[in-house]
Amino acid sequence: KNPFSFLFFFLSLCFLWLLGFSMFYFFVSFLLFWDAVQICQGDVSSADRKVLIEFYEATQGKGWINSKNWGTGDPCVDEWTGVGCVDDDSEIVSIKLQGNLLAGILPSSLTNLARLETFDLSNNELSAEIPSFSQESLESVVLSSNQLEGSIPPLFFILPHLKKIVLNDNSLTGEILPIGETVSALKELDVSLNSFSGSFSLDSQLYPELETMFVAFVTISFIILSTNIHLDLLQIIH
């Protein structure tokens, strides 16, 4: 027998064994890597998920027009209707459910969504008071055309990034703008068609970024306008 044939056969077996081991190692490594990716993605905290479930129940989620995937799996990875997340699907940054037949109240636990930026529940049937959102990340709150009561949360006027507040067509009361507070970012304010009373002052030092303001069909006694206020649009109709 040719000794080289035996050597070739032996080396072939070694090569096949090494190839098989390498493929097995690669396959196991890939599975571990994929599991790690899945863990990193969609890792919405159980606390944030609980907040959304409370919100769903408090606003009669079973009666929504569209509640696709709500309550199933992860809010971000499974794309719950109206829920927006950061790129890695780990935190919730927006809730947009306009005209979706939400009814009931807004739970105070919504203030625990630490990265929330946009909150739009306009054209629904929500009642009771607006939660006192305190998230510094908040940029836009749109709750127009509901049945909300109570006053505008004072914290709205000191949040550093809140640019847009639209609350028209509700039953809100109290002061429109707090006196003596500094608003660093507010650009648009619509409080028309509510039950506000009293007076308010517009001064560029108090509201330096304000560009658009609607105060139509509310009861106000007087308005103080600073000579250096610069509004692109101011609508006041009694």
Query: Model-level pTM?
Result: 0.78
The yes-or-no verdict on residue 41 having pLDDT over 60 is no
- The DSSP symbol for 116 reads -
Q: Mean per-residue pLDDT for 208-230?
A: 65
Q: Mean pLDDT over all residues of the chain?
A: 80
DSSP three-state, residue 106: coil
Check if the beta carbon of residue 119 is closer than 8 Å to that of residue 138: yes
pLDDT, tens digit, for every residue of 56-95? Answer: 999 999 999 999 999 999 999 999 999 999 988 789 999 9
- For tokens 């009293």, what's the residue? 198
Helix (H) / strand (E) element for 141: namely strand 140-142
The yes-or-no verdict on residue 225 having pLDDT over 60 is no
- For tokens 């939660």, what's the residue? 131
Tell which residue, 119, 44, 45, has the closest CA to residue 88.
Answer: 44
Check if the beta carbon of residue 152 is closer than 8 Å to that of residue 132: no
The yes-or-no verdict on residue 14 having pLDDT over 80 is no
Whether the CA torsion 215, 216, 221, 226 is positive or negative: it is: positive
Whether the CA torsion 180, 186, 192, 195 is positive or negative: it is: negative
Paired sense of beta strands 125-129 and 103-104, if any: parallel
